[in-house]
Amino acid sequence: MAAIKFSFMLRLLDRNPDRVPLAHLGEYLQEFAGLLGEENKPVFKGIKKASIGCMAAVPVERVHLSRARITQAKNDESSKPGRHLRAIETLMGQDSIKQAQILDQDGLVIHTIFGIQPEPVSTNERLYQEGVVDGWVTGLVGADDSMHLYVRDHFDRDLRLIVRDDAMARQILSHFRAGTIRLRVRGPWMRNDNGWAPEASKCLVLSFEALDDTPLGEVLAAAARVPGNGWSEMKDPMTHWENIRGIH
């Protein structure tokens, strides 16, 4: 029996046809047809069991047009052929197929495709809430209506928040590395090893206030100077405070 003639083959490497869901195999053929161009009238020419070889034939006078679409897909993923190529890469990732090839009628590889592996599902818990963040302002970036505010909190976590009020942004920036501020934010929070924290670039700053960074010793010393205050009668008010707080 004479060999089946084809113009192009999508060859899924290291995978036999019976190891790919039938519905997915149909999707590969559909996206391959889209890549070659429906206007070029590709027709199905069979499956070759050499890995998985999806064969298609295109009229001779239109082969160069299909080849041009493959070249465009390689160079511009936002183009229509590029979107079909991206869909094939995504399908490969879902089927754990690492590599594929597009061959011409002479069996020469004209493009190698690599599967896009699905992103791992996050195990972090998430909730939508309004809360507060205390920390130091380390940066503010952005020229549009969504500025990114960078804050380092007391757990040494670098948080990224969203500010959409220009006046508030200028006020917050005046505290750049100049003390602790408290921000009220709303949006999705995620729990990690250090507790709950705003999800990066997802929580909106609603308001803020500067916190008093006066050392506790100075606060207690000021309290001790108030007439009739029991703190002034103590030789070591800081140690007493630590004891009643259970720090020792």
101 and 197 together in one domain: no
* CA distance from start to end of the chain: 91
- What pLDDT score was predicted for residue 206? 95
Rounded Cα–Cα distance for residues 194 and 192 (Å)? 5
Q: Which two three-digit tokens encode residue 142? A: 């952005």
Distance, in Å, from the CA atom of 49 to the CA atom of 237, rounded to the nearest integer, reads: 84
pLDDT the model gives residue 2: 45
Between 185 and 222, the higher pLDDT residue: 185
- Nearest CA among 160, 143, 142 for reference residue 151: 160
Q: What's the rounded Cα separation, in Å, for the pair 58 and 43?
A: 7
Other residues' Cβ atoms within 10 Å of the Cβ of residue 208: 21
What is the per-residue pLDDT for 213?
A: 66
- What was the pLDDT predicted at 182? 95
Residues 44-100 have pLDDT tens digits of 998 887 678 999 999 999 999 999 999 999 889 889 999 999 999 999 988 889 899
**What would the mean pLDDT of 215-223 be, rounded to a whole number?**
66
120 is a domain residue: no
Whether 105 and 12 map to the same domain: the answer is yes
Classify residue 2: in a domain, yes or no. Answer: no
Same domain for 232 and 144, yes or no, is: no
Smallest CA-to-CA distance from 58 within 70, 43, 68, 39 is with: 43
pTM of the full structure: 0.48
The pLDDT score that the predictor gives to residue 223 is: 65
Do 5 and 45 touch, CB atoms closer than 8 A? yes
Q: How confident is the model over 194-212, as a mean pLDDT?
A: 90
Average pLDDT of the segment spanning 177-182: 90
If one counts the domains in the chain, the total is 3
Predicted confidence at residue 215, as pLDDT, reads 66
pLDDT of residue 224: 66
Domain around 97: 8-114
Q: What is the pLDDT of residues 88-113, one digit of tens each?
A: 999 998 888 989 999 999 989 999 99
- With a pLDDT cut of 90, the percent of the chain lying above it is 52
Residues 155 and 185 in one domain: yes
